[in-house]
């Protein structure tokens, strides 16, 4: 494994307290911005309509008890102690859970999976029991309909996260600016809050292209100052107004609350659930920090500060029952410090909004990597900080929707109803996926997963049902957004799978490729031709169409498959999987470039040079291997006579490893593992080959490069000729051959399928970025081949 690559995400997990405390401090600005500003609007939304604050204080004390136990059970117990442990190589979030499940059970719908992917060093799996015969896992793998249901659940969670990216900035900034109502008359207030909120939102989205790292150093101090501010105000209100407010933390007050308010109290839970908005960020941003850092920051700072803030507001309200008093965060703030608190609240709301906006960009990038979202332009805003991306189209769309929500709703109640439903849906999805992880990945008894699902799922379903009652009062918005996004994502994924199946069934044979030559009027032109395809084996149909219409192709031909694997990162040393297509004299190769769903794709210049370098390394290695095979004495003759064209080899910067390769007509799969260290370009030492047969055998070779005999000289000359052809082709120019597809439903298809493919998918394809933009191909080097897919 590439040590430098591993350093990017492993050194942050050191156990030294100094490192943990530093990461815990940094996590405040990225992870806890949204969660920390929830006191601005929780009580306001709770008492907006369904219940009223009375002289008995049963309502406010009951609300405080609900807030305390909700914060304790969901963020603290569920996320900090359970969900954060379900990480995917240190990464968290909905797609991390999904990829973890896909690696442990055969439920993935990604089309071009290979056995070689399982040999990646980041493809680690929990050690199963001696016989993993879980009936639940067998049922899950057996029925393909369950695979589709699982994907739909994941897409639902993803869509709700994107919807939250629309709602959270609007409600956060609006609630912070609403503090002006305490210092201004109602007439002036209603004309000031909306324009100021919209102005701040425009500025927030306009600065996104600079990247979080430009102003990120300010985020942690702002959130830290805000948490200290609300906890101090909480202590002040507790000691001044009601030192005995701590008694309301008893669950008994929840019972009294529901007994008095009945159905109105149940409906008001849609406001109380806002106290845990932003909890999902603890898991989603796990890859930027570490489990211990996020756990420490929440347990010892964020959680106590939030509890004190809610207790302080309840203590103040328990002694203020004026009917004209509007319940809000700012009424409990002493007038002498109200303006500084207002400014700090606005800054904290911007930080909280930034976290969810960055998270939206990240999850759309992951969805695109897994073939579940139309292609969009992804800009990586930081070379040093992993995973920070900016998507221009999504950014401006989010800005327009945020402003529309602010102008359309104009109050915290409707925004809170919409945000609450989105938050609870994401949490329900996380609970369901974590339950699967407990059984499939952690190999625990199903009863353990069932207890987890019933306990936390019942709590979240209670809040979810309360949110659904607000459907006509704002909760319709996230449902509408999620429905629209799910149609787009599922349609794109469905068409992508069907296109792959069409390519798989219409690929041409290797004999057809080898037969192309001057006798058929086909010429080989100077240069390197990179034929991009989703196939990991075989000759794609778009190449045959290319040669049919333009009877020439390049002297160096490389079939390139850029694919995503269900891991967050693929080390650079294991990214390129290279093999021959046909004999060495044909100068045709296959190169599979593997990326994780959080990896940064290379720009075209570095990709070209890296690809040529890896091909050169493969050529040297392949010739050394053929020379070694001729000199070695094998017990099993069939193993020594294996054709090199049947193998794919991992070519990296620190070592090579032959993985299961399959090529040519037989599609044979032969598993092997070979690691080769190259101290210099001209030497190869310590070649170790292992065939995983019944009688496992290891053979060690030490080969010097110095010529010994005619056979060695002949091999050296042939290798040098092939390398010279490669570098000559690079100097002549590299052409990128891509398919330009149009999808049509085959005759006899249902009306729904025809509408989805003929109109829906093709509309998305025409209006999203092309594959050349996604691969960053320069127009001067682009050759597009028109293809009509009848699926």
Q: Which structure tokens are listed for 644?
A: 């090199």
Q: Which residue has the higher pLDDT, 666 or 85?
A: 85
- Which one, of 245, 250, 302, lies nearest residue 75 by Cα? 302
Q: Which residue has the higher pLDDT, 131 or 587?
A: 587
Position 225 pLDDT exceeds 60: yes
Q: What's the mean per-residue pLDDT of the chain? A: 80
Position 686 pLDDT exceeds 60: no
Q: Which residue has the higher pLDDT, 191 or 446?
A: 446
Weakest-pLDDT range from 174-183, 296-305, 535-544:
174-183
Distance CA 467, CA 422 (A): 9
Mean pLDDT across 27-50: 85
Are 582 and 645 in contact by the 8 Å Cβ rule? The answer is yes
Torsion of CA 38, 43, 48, 50, to 10 degrees: 120
Give the model's pLDDT for residue 688.
25
Question: What percentage of the chain carries pLDDT values higher than 90?
Answer: 27
Distance CA 98, CA 154 (A): 7
Give the model's pLDDT for residue 712.
57
**pLDDT grade for 183, boundaries at 50, 70 and 90:** low
Q: Of 419-428, 653-662, 668-677, where does the model show the most confidence? A: 419-428
Distance CA 499, CA 479 (A): 30
Mean pLDDT across 260-287: 86
Helix (H) or strand (E) holding 529: strand 523-532
Helix (H) or strand (E) holding 165: helix 144-177
Q: Which structure tokens are listed for 478?
A: 């996230």
Strand ranges for 567-607 from DSSP E: 576-580, 588-595
Q: Which structure tokens are listed for 742?
A: 């149009």
Q: Which residue has the tokens 């933009």?
A: 773
SS3 38: helix
Give the model's pLDDT for residue 190.
66
Q: Could you read off the pLDDT of 414-450 as tens digits, one per residue?
A: 888 899 899 999 999 999 999 999 998 888 888 999 9
Position 605 pLDDT exceeds 80: no
SS3 185: coil
Position 702 pLDDT exceeds 70: no
Position 694 pLDDT exceeds 60: no
Mean pLDDT across 188-211: 83
Give the model's pLDDT for residue 301.
93
Q: Which residue has the higher pLDDT, 646 or 219?
A: 219
Mean pLDDT across 232-241: 93
What is the number of residues in the chain?
791
- Give the rounded distance of the alpha carbon of 643 from its chain centre: 39
Give the model's pLDDT for residue 78.
93
SS3 508: strand
Helix (H) or strand (E) holding 790: strand 782-790
Give every CB contact of residue 240 below 8 A, 6+ residues apart in sequence.
Answer: 315
Weakest-pLDDT range from 270-274, 516-520, 609-613:
516-520
Distance CA 525, CA 536 (A): 25
Question: What percentage of the chain carries pLDDT values higher than 70?
Answer: 81
Distance in Å from the first CA to the final CA of the chain? 41
Strands 656-659 and 673-677, bridge-based pairing? antiparallel
Are 493 and 372 in contact by the 8 Å Cβ rule? The answer is yes
Distance CA 465, CA 269 (A): 9
Position 633 pLDDT exceeds 80: no
Give every CB contact of residue 166 below 8 A, 6+ residues apart in sequence.
Answer: 398, 401, 402, 405, 481
Distance CA 31, CA 301 (A): 13
Distance CA 311, CA 330 (A): 14
Weakest-pLDDT range from 24-28, 155-159, 726-730:
24-28
Alpha helices in 410-509 (DSSP H): 412-440, 446-468, 476-505
Distance CA 505, CA 538 (A): 10
Position 495 pLDDT exceeds 70: yes
**pLDDT grade for 516, boundaries at 50, 70 and 90:** confident
Q: Could you read off the pLDDT of 134-172 as tens digits, one per residue?
A: 788 888 888 888 888 998 999 999 999 899 889 989 988
Mean pLDDT across 37-53: 83
- Which one, of 774, 406, 386, 730, lies nearest residue 555 by Cα? 730
Give the model's pLDDT for residue 11.
40
For residue 206, what are the CA distances in angstroms to 358, 379, 594? Answer: 13, 15, 34
Mean pLDDT across 708-715: 59
Q: Could you read off the pLDDT of 745-772 as tens digits, one per residue?
A: 988 889 999 999 999 999 998 888 877 7
Mean pLDDT across 104-120: 76
**pLDDT grade for 696, boundaries at 50, 70 and 90:** very low
- Which one, of 575, 81, 60, lies nearest residue 312 by Cα? 60
Distance CA 317, CA 45 (A): 15
Burial 643-654 (b: 16+ CB within 10 A, else e): ebbbbbbbbbbb
Q: Could you read off the pLDDT of 354-404 as tens digits, one per residue?
A: 878 888 888 888 888 888 899 888 887 766 555 567 888 999 999 999 999
Give the model's pLDDT for residue 69.
95
Mean pLDDT across 560-585: 87
Give every CB contact of residue 368 below 8 A, 6+ residues apart in sequence.
Answer: 374, 375, 376, 378
Give the model's pLDDT for residue 627.
72
**pLDDT grade for 739, boundaries at 50, 70 and 90:** confident
**pLDDT grade for 184, boundaries at 50, 70 and 90:** low
Helix (H) or strand (E) holding 554: strand 552-564
Position 93 pLDDT exceeds 50: yes
**pLDDT grade for 406, boundaries at 50, 70 and 90:** very high
Give the model's pLDDT for residue 383.
63
Q: Could you read off the pLDDT of 57-89 as tens digits, one per residue?
A: 888 899 999 999 999 999 999 999 899 888 887
Q: Which residue has the higher pLDDT, 777 or 692?
A: 777
Distance CA 222, CA 202 (A): 20
Three-state DSSP string of 48-61 = CCCCCCCCCCHHHH
Position 637 pLDDT exceeds 60: no
Mean pLDDT across 531-555: 87
Distance CA 214, CA 585 (A): 52
Q: Provide Rg for the chain, Cα atoms.
A: 30
Give the model's pLDDT for residue 14.
41
- Which one, of 392, 75, 310, 353, lies nearest residue 219 by Cα? 353
Weakest-pLDDT range from 181-190, 228-237, 312-321, 406-415:
181-190
Give the model's pLDDT for residue 565.
85
Q: Which residue has the higher pLDDT, 435 or 777?
A: 435
The tally of CA atoms less than 13 A away on the side-chain side of residue 491 is: 22
- Which one, of 250, 484, 208, lies nearest residue 357 by Cα? 208
Mean pLDDT across 109-136: 68
Position 674 pLDDT exceeds 50: no
Q: Give me the DSSP letters along 641-696.
A: T--GGG-EEEE-SS-EEEE-B--TTT---B--EEEEE-SSTT-EEEEEEEE-SSS-
**pLDDT grade for 672, boundaries at 50, 70 and 90:** very low
Distance CA 136, CA 122 (A): 26
């Amino acid at each position: 494994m590439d040590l430098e690559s591993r350093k990017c995400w492993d050194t942050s997990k050191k156990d030294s307290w100094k490192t943990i405390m530093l990461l815990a401090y940094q996590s405040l600005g990225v992870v806890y911005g949204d969660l920390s500003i929830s006191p601005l609007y929780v009580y306001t939304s709770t008492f907006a309509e369904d219940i009223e604050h009375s002289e008995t204080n049963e309502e406010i004390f009951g609300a405080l008890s609900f807030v305390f136990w909700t914060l304790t059970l969901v963020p603290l117990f569920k996320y900090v102690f359970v969900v954060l442990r379900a990480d995917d190589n240190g990464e968290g979030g909905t797609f991390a859970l999904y990829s973890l499940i896909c690696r442990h059970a055969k439920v993935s719908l990604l089309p071009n999976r290979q056995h070689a992917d399982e040999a990646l060093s980041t493809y680690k799996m929990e050690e199963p029991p001696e016989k993993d015969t879980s009936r639940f896992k067998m049922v899950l793998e057996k029925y393909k309909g369950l695979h589709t249901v699982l994907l739909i659940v994941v897409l639902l969670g993803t869509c709700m996260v994107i919807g939250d990216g629309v709602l959270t900035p609007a409600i956060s900034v609006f609630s912070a600016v609403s503090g002006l109502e305490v210092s201004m008359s109602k007439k002036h207030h209603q004309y000031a809050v909306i324009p100021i909120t919209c102005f701040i939102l425009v500025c927030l989205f306009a600065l996104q292209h600079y990247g979080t790292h430009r102003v990120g150093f300010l985020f942690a101090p702002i959130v830290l100052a805000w948490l200290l501010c609300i906890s101090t105000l909480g202590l002040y209100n507790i000691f001044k107004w009601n030192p005995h407010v701590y008694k309301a933390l008893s669950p008994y007050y929840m019972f009294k609350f529901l007994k008095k308010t009945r159905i109105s109290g149940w409906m008001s839970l849609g406001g109380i659930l806002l106290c845990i908005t932003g909890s999902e960020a603890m898991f989603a941003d796990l890859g930027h920090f570490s489990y211990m850092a996020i756990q420490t920051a929440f347990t010892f700072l964020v959680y106590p500060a939030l509890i004190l803030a809610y207790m302080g507001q309840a203590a103040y309200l328990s002694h203020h029952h004026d009917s004209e008093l509007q319940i809000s965060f700012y009424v409990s703030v002493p007038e002498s410090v109200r303006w500084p608190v207002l400014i700090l609240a606005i800054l904290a709301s911007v930080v909280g909004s930034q976290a969810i906006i960055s998270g939206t960009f990240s999850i759309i990038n992951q969805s695109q990597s897994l073939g579940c979202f139309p292609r969009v332009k992804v800009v990586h805003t930081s070379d040093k900080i992993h995973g920070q991306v900016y998507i221009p189209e999504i950014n401006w769309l989010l800005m327009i929707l945020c402003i529309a929500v602010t102008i359309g709703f104009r109050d915290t109640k409707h925004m809170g109803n919409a945000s609450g439903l989105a938050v609870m849906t994401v949490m329900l999805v996380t609970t369901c996926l974590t339950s699967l992880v407990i059984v499939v990945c952690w190999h625990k008894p199903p009863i353990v997963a069932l207890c987890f699902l019933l306990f936390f799922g019942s709590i979240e379903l209670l809040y979810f049902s309360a949110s659904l009652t607000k459907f006509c009062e704002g909760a319709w918005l996230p449902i509408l957004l999620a429905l629209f996004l799910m149609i787009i994502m599922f349609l794109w994924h469905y068409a992508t799978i069907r296109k792959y199946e069409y390519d798989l069934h219409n690929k041409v044979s290797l004999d057809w490729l080898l037969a192309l030559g001057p006798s058929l009027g086909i010429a080989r032109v100077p240069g390197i031709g990179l034929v991009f395809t989703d196939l990991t084996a075989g000759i794609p149909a778009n190449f045959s169409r290319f040669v049919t219409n333009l009877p020439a192709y390049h002297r160096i031909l490389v079939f390139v498959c850029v694919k995503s694997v269900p891991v967050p990162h693929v080390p650079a040393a294991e990214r390129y999987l290279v093999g021959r297509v046909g004999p060495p004299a044909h100068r045709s190769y296959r190169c599979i470039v593997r990326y994780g769903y959080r990896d940064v794709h290379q720009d075209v210049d570095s990709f070209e040079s890296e690809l040529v370098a890896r091909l050169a390394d493969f050529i040297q290695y392949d010739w050394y291997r053929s020379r070694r095979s001729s000199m070695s004495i094998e017990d099993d003759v069939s193993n020594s006579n294996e054709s090199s064209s049947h193998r794919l080899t991992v070519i990296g910067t620190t070592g090579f490893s032959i993985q299961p390769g399959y090529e040519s007509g037989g599609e044979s799969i032969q598993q092997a593992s070979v690691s080769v260290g190259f101290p210099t370009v001209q030497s190869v030492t310590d070649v170790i080959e292992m065939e995983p047969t019944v009688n496992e055998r290891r053979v060690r070779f030490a080969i010097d490069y110095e010529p010994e005999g005619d056979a060695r000289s002949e091999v050296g000359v042939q290798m040098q000729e092939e390398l010279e052809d490669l570098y000559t082709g690079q100097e002549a120019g590299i052409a990128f051959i891509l398919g330009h597809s149009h999808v049509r439903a085959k005759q006899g298809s249902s009306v729904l399928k025809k509408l989805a493919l003929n109109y829906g998918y093709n509309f998305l394809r025409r209006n999203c970025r092309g594959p050349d933009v996604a691969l960053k191909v320069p127009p001067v080097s682009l050759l597009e081949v028109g293809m009509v897919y009848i699926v």
